[in-house]
Amino acid sequence: MMIVQLYDTTLRDGAQEEGISFSVEDKLKICQKLDELGIDFIEGGWPGSNPKDSEFFARARSLRLTHSTLVAFGSTRRSNCLAEEDLNLRALLEAKTKVVTIVGKAWDKQVTRVLETTPEENLSMITDSIDYLRAKGLRVFFDAEHFFDGYRDNPEYALQVVAAAAKAGAECVVLCDTNGGSLPQQMAGAIKAVKKANSVALGVHTHNDAELAVANTLAAVEAGVVQVHGTINGYGERCGNANLCSIIPTLKIKMGIECVTDKQLSKLSDVSRYVSELANMPHYDRLPYVGDDAFTHKGGIHVSGLIKWEDSYQHINPSLVGNRPHVVVSELAGKGSIAFKAKERGLPVPKGKAIEEVLEQIKTLEKQGFQYDVAEASFDLLLRRVQADYRPPFELVDFMVVVEKRRRPPTRGNQEEPLSEATIKVKVDDRIVHTAAEGDGPVDALDKALRKALLQFYPDLTAVKLIDYKVRILEETAGTASQVRVLIESSDGRENWRTVGSSTNIIEASWLALADSMEYWLTKHAGKAKD
């Protein structure tokens, strides 16, 4: 049975992505998650490059990893310098890991133009560094940087680099597609040439500049590499690194390589989201396997097939990777989509003409600019409103919003601020309430006026906060008469939900989304109005 080692470099290479800056505490937490996932080697950072990584390795000694081995990363000695005098190699020793990875050039043009030394000296730098670290009792992996570009340009020298690292005692020579521009067939051909000339274990480290990092990694495995490098969610410089969240399930499920256990694989989606949270990066919904959209179905035919046979439009069972199927409702939906979504949301499935009414409403409203696949709370209300016994917690009688600049005194130097005031009438049971409120803008004023009216009947509504507000112009060619869509996200501290409104009047669109937000929460949580 083929063995493939998983090598994660999220904490070093992944951290080079623009916008990512892990704290030491973040890196320690991610290590624990990667250990639970079954990663064999975790590259923790470059201790010779910055104080934070040095601190990380000092603190990481107290980690209780049950599966993973921590790896320190560095480079070969500098040119024309003794290995024992090189500060970078000393820093690797001070990290006190059992395994280290060092990087060296495998492309002669990189050697002469970037390192500004000779190809012969570069080979000495590689062998001296590995000899030195091995003499200190360390296991050494060697990253052959720019290997595939070097092999295409000067195959003889690229192979000399691999041979030198192997002869010096590198446990694994990792072939790097550093610029991320290689093709799978090029990878496979180069790897076969290396295997023919050397018996050393090989690894692969790819970048995603041609969007082929995962494909190149899998081609390398087919060609015989036994160690694959990558990052969680494909984080990394430029276009990123090979995405382990795609590589791991493909190796295990598609290629039959038992790189993790079934239990470890089921944690993949959680690990993906956890790392994105600590990276302070939005979790990309369209990530294969682990994204929210990876098993999302929108077309009516797809949903109908899914109901009859769950594998009809899914390449794997989502639960294998800790994900689940989603159905979104749109103008492309059919009755099956409505029924599936109602069951998924724990709502009564409309029967007969009711389900046809919901479907017709969705098609009509989406033509008017509403969008229910991103506003499931508004969709819930469509389902509730067709139920014969549904009574809304409040009804709008009318509202008026005024934006006026003359009355408000200046508060920021000599700059006057407009005054926004909303007046609203709502009906709760058989009582009509008429309130008014000022706000920082018309939507804020509407929000405050509506709350003011409803709080006397539903005091628990204070828990609900508006946390996001988005406006999209749907028909730019119509200018100021364009249809606009408003999406509002709200939260009560436990649950977040989104609602939608659409109109040629931005205030009306905002009101529709705002009213849905309040009605959704009140319908779920508040019960009957207080007397």
**Where exactly are the structural domains of the chain?**
5-278, 296-385, 395-526
Q: What is the mean pLDDT of residues 57-70?
A: 96
Q: Which of 253-267, 309-323, 361-375, 431-445 has the lowest mean pLDDT?
A: 361-375
DSSP designation for 526: I
Q: What is the mean pLDDT of residues 335-362?
A: 68
Q: Are 5-278 and 395-526 the same fold in CATH?
A: no
Q: What is the mean pLDDT of residues 238-262?
A: 98
DSSP designation for 494: S
Give the tokens for residue 111.
């050697």
pLDDT tens profile 30-47: 999 999 999 999 999 999
Bridge partners (DSSP) listed for residue 173? 142, 202
pLDDT tens profile 467-523: 999 888 876 555 666 788 899 999 999 999 999 999 989 999 999 999 999 999 999
Backbone φ and ψ of 56, nearest 5°: -55, -50
Cβ contact 42:70 at 8 Å? yes
- The pLDDT score that the predictor gives to residue 332 is 46
- The pLDDT score that the predictor gives to residue 416 is 66
pLDDT tens profile 71-123: 999 999 999 999 999 999 999 999 999 999 999 999 999 999 999 999 999 99
Task: From the options 3.20.20.70, 3.30.360.10, 3.20.20.80, 3.40.50.880, give the CATH code of 5-278.
Answer: 3.20.20.70
In the predicted structure, residue 459 carries a pLDDT above the cut 90: yes
Give the tokens for residue 474.
């749907």
Fill in the amino acid letter for 492: D
In the predicted structure, residue 331 carries a pLDDT above the cut 50: no
Cβ contact 287:281 at 8 Å? no
Q: Find the length of the chain.
A: 531
pLDDT tens profile 258-317: 999 999 999 999 999 999 999 989 889 899 999 988 887 665 566 566 666 777 789 999
Q: What is the rounded distance in angstroms from the CA atom of residue 218 to the CA atom of residue 365?
A: 45
Give the tokens for residue 208.
């995603």
- The pLDDT score that the predictor gives to residue 349 is 66
Q: What is the mean pLDDT of residues 142-151?
A: 98
- Provide the percentage of residues in the chain whose pLDDT is more than 70: 86
Q: Residue 189: CB partners within 8 Å, gap ≥ 6?
A: none
Name the pLDDT band for 136 (thresholds 50, 70, 90).
very high
Superfamily in which the 395-526 domain is placed by CATH: Alpha-isopropylmalate synthase LeuA, regulatory domain (3.30.160.270)
In the predicted structure, residue 198 carries a pLDDT above the cut 90: yes
